[in-house]
């Protein structure tokens, strides 16, 4: 069972490594969206510090959504997915592996870039640390919930925009708790409560999302 | 009683046709009674003047918007568990009406907020969750519209619906939490403690009217969906001889 | 009766725009929904009838 999971993850990470252009697009999208905000709002440091956590978090949501529509689509097009669905291993493990791979490919780089962007927004050191921590707990949620959307819209016209429409409202709690944790550091009200709620949401997504997206895959492929 | 008998489209179609006028008439009468209470019986509010009369549609619309989403999830779950086509049709028929009530709740919330808060839109916990509920409705409807195969559209929509219904309480809680942290407005749209008895009655009767309306409209929409899907069958061909 | 005249009724104590704006749009939504539903039903009906007549020919 675990072996199957690791195979799925390894395969996806390897495939992404061969197609570095696609992968870089999502990362640069993240950087660019965040950099647009000071240009649109103005360089006033106090204002930037207030909106910083929220902007980085919203950009993380968008970057994660951008890369989602290819989660199952490539395997679906060349027929690999159908073979995988026929294999005796549970489909929930396949979707879990895909979501973890998506997080490794797209989530972890965001964690590394986020502090740099935080500096641009004038965030102090503790807030930067909290930003990375909240993204570390939060981005797996984005990948897990996103896998449901990717499975539901598999092979549809305009799948990318549709995924955004379906999944964005479901991201709301992650956004509120994640950006709120950084906000808590900035305002001095503490962020433990935010982090534990974010953690609880992660646990719930981890338990439910792979099953739901497995069901969604079966609906979409059959 | 055999439930499967009523779950068959050919029984449902004429039965729904017979029920719709009754529900529509009930909705109409209840709406008249509710409007009479809201404008002629309920006294003027000493704090908000006549402006508070908006709650007689705002609160029932907000109730219905949430209730319909849960009912949709119920039909979706039944459909996924027992594979009954009619349950999916019901879930699908409810979505536009639910979205309509969500829109009405938002619109009336804005029209209530302008005189009371001085702004058309305030990021109040209730209004914000209602907005996200509208997004959820739009998501389900967009997904179903994007899929051509009705079998897949039904199931995909039902799954998304179920994920949504698990998420709604979490979203509501998180928005409320966010709102209290950012010093939300102290005035709330529904004021349970000071509410007069007649106001409560007015809201309940309006909510009942909205409920009956929803049943009538959803049944009518389900009938059309059934007609489209069963067009190859004998009974639909026989139906087409009559009047629409 | 709590209203002295129709004028007072329509003015709603200065909240006329907001009260009638809310009730009016709600009515509009209901009418539009019922109207669209009826139109769609007639369209489906006509289409199915046409398809049936083709089958017979």
Complex ipTM value: 0.90
- pLDDT score of B54 more than 80: yes
CB A98 within 8 A of CB A25: no
CB A97 within 8 A of CB A2: no
Instruction: Give the pLDDT score at C56.
Output: 66
- What the block records as the tokens of A54 is 């929220």
Instruction: Give the pLDDT score at B2.
Output: 59
Instruction: Give the pLDDT score at C57.
Output: 61
Instruction: Give the pLDDT score at B187.
Output: 46
pLDDT tier at B132, thresholds 50, 70, 90: very high
The verdict on a CB contact (< 8 Å) between A172 and B160 is: no
CA distances in angstroms from A164 to A97, A145, B148, B169, B220, listed in the order given? 21, 11, 20, 21, 31
The verdict on a CB contact (< 8 Å) between B177 and A156 is: no
- SS3 label, residue B240: coil
Over range B58-78, report the average pLDDT.
93
Best of B32, B40, B41, B51 to disrupt the C interface (most C CBs within 10 Å) is: B51
User: Is it the case that chain A and chain C have 3 or more CB pairs lying under 8 Å apart?
Assistant: no
Instruction: Give the pLDDT score at B4.
Output: 65
Q: Does the CB of A165 have a partner CB in chain B at under 8 Å? A: yes
CB B91 within 8 A of CB B79: yes
Instruction: Give the pLDDT score at B135.
Output: 95
Return the residue of B nearest to C15 by Cα. B51
Distance from C-alpha of B163 to C-alpha of A166, rounded to nearest angstrom: 10
- pLDDT score of B1 more than 80: no
Best of B35, B56, B222, B224 to disrupt the C interface (most C CBs within 10 Å) is: B224
Distance from C-alpha of A219 to C-alpha of B161, rounded to nearest angstrom: 14
Write the residue in B51, B96, B221 that is nearest to C15 by C-beta. B51
- Segments in chain A below pLDDT 50: none
Q: Does the CB of A191 have a partner CB in chain B at under 8 Å? A: no
Best of B159, B168, B172, B179 to disrupt the A interface (most A CBs within 10 Å) is: B159
> In B49-149, where does DSSP find H-type helix?
55-82, 85-117, 125-146
List the domain range (segments joined by +) for residue A90: 2-221
User: Is it the case that chain C and chain B have 3 or more CB pairs lying under 8 Å apart?
Assistant: yes
Q: Which of A75-79, A193-197, B6-10, B128-132 has the lowest mean pLDDT?
A: B6-10
pLDDT tier at B45, thresholds 50, 70, 90: confident
Write the residue in A153, A166, A173 that is nearest to B170 by C-beta. A173
Instruction: Give the pLDDT score at B185.
Output: 44
The neighbouring-strand residues paired with B45 are: B49
- Give residue B83's region: left, alpha or beta (phi > 0; psi -120 to 50): left
Record the pTM: 0.91
User: Within the 112-131 window of chain B, which residues sit less than 8 Å (CB to CB) from chain A?
Assistant: none
Over range B148-156, report the average pLDDT.
91
The neighbouring-strand residues paired with B49 are: B45
What backbone torsions phi and psi does residue B45 show, to the nearest 5 degrees? -75, 135
Overall number of domains in chain A: 1
């Amino acid at each position: 069972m675990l072996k199957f999971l690791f195979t799925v993850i390894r395969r996806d990470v390897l495939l992404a490594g061969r197609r570095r252009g696609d992968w870089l697009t999502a990362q640069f999208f993240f950087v660019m969206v965040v950099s647009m905000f000071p240009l649109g709002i103005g360089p006033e440091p106090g204002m930037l510090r207030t909106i910083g956590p929220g902007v980085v978090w919203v950009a993380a949501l968008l970057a994660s959504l951008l890369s989602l529509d290819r989660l199952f689509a490539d395997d679906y097009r060349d027929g690999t997915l159908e073979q995988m669905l026929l294999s005796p291993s549970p489909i929930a493990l396949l979707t879990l592996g895909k979501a973890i791979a998506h997080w490794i490919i797209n989530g972890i780089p965001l964690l590394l870039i986020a502090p740099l962007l935080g500096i641009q927004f004038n965030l102090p050191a503790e807030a930067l640390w909290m930003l990375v921590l909240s993204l570390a707990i939060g981005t797996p949620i984005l990948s897990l919930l996103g896998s449901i959307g990717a499975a539901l819209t598999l092979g549809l016209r305009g799948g990318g925009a549709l995924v955004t429409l379906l999944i964005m409202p479901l991201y709301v709690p992650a956004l509120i708790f994640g950006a709120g944790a950084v906000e808590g550091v900035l305002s001095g009200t503490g962020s433990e409560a935010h982090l534990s709620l974010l953690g609880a949401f992660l646990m719930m997504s981890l338990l439910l999302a792979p099953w739901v997206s497995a069901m969604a895959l079966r609906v979409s492929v059959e | 009683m055999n439930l499967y008998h009523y779950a068959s489209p050919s029984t449902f179609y004429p039965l729904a046709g017979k029920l719709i006028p009754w529900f529509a008439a009930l909705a109409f009468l209840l709406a008249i009674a509710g409007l009479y209470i809201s404008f002629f019986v309920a006294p003027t509010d000493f704090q908000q003047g006549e402006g508070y009369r908006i709650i007689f549609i705002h609160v029932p619309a907000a109730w219905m918007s949430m209730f319909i989403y849960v009912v949709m999830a119920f039909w979706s779950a039944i459909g996924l568990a027992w594979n009954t086509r009619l349950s999916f049709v019901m879930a699908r028929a409810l979505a536009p009406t639910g979205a309509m009530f969500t829109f009405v709740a938002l619109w009336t919330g804005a029209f209530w907020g302008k005189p009371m808060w001085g702004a058309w839109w305030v990021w109040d916990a209730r209004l914000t969750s209602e907005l996200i509920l509208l997004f959820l409705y739009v998501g389900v409807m967009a997904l179903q519209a994007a899929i051509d195969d009705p079998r897949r559209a039904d199931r995909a929509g039902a799954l998304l619906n179920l994920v949504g219904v698990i998420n709604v309480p979490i979203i509501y809680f998180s928005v409320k939490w966010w709102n209290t942290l950012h010093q939300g407005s102290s005035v709330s749209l529904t004021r349970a403690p000071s509410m007069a008895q007649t106001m409560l009655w007015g809201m309940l009767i309006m909510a009942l009217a909205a409920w009956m309306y929803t049943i009538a409209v959803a049944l009518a929409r389900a009938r059309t969906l059934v007609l489209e899907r069963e067009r190859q069958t004998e009974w639909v061909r026989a139906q087409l001889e009559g009047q629409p | 009766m709590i209203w002295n005249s129709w004028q007072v009724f329509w003015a709603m104590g200065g909240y006329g725009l907001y009260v009638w704006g809310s009730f009016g749009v709600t009515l509009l939504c209901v009418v539009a929904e019922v109207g669209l539903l009826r139109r769609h039903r007639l369209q489906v009906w006509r289409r199915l009838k046409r398809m049936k007549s083709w089958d017979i020919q």
